[in-house]
Amino acid sequence: MSDMRELTVQSRNGGVRFTVRVQPRASRSAVDGVREGALRIRLTSPPVDGAANKALIAFLAGLLDVAKRSVHIVAGASSRTKVIDVDAMDTDRVRACIARSLEERS
């Protein structure tokens, strides 16, 4: 089982930065826990023509209750491991949103 304390979330320029590990072509889109400091996310979208990146941004925006324009992939656009910046967010709020999602999954 993943532990929220493992998730590395850094404050950055009025927002936060964290790493996600994406599994495309999953049966459903969901948070799948935390491993090695990264948030694991399953997405139904395939990794073709940026579809998974668009789905990831939309998923994270919904999860964190922010506009899609506030979520940015700043590294790893063509990799399963990506670095995400979220504007106007703090580390406690990120952790609370993710913890709530993990509780709903259980």
Q: What is the CATH number of the domain that holds 65?
A: 3.30.1200.10
What digits encode the pLDDT tens for the residues 5-58?
Answer: 689 999 998 899 999 999 999 999 999 999 999 999 999 999 999 999 999 999
pLDDT tops 90 at residue 93: yes
**Tally of structural domains, the chain:** 1
Rg (CA), the chain: 12
Q: What is the pLDDT of residue 1?
A: 44
What is the model's pTM? Answer: 0.92
Domain of 79, in residue numbers? 4-105
pLDDT tops 70 at residue 2: no
CA distance 34 to 78: 21
- The 8-class DSSP code of residue 88 comes to S
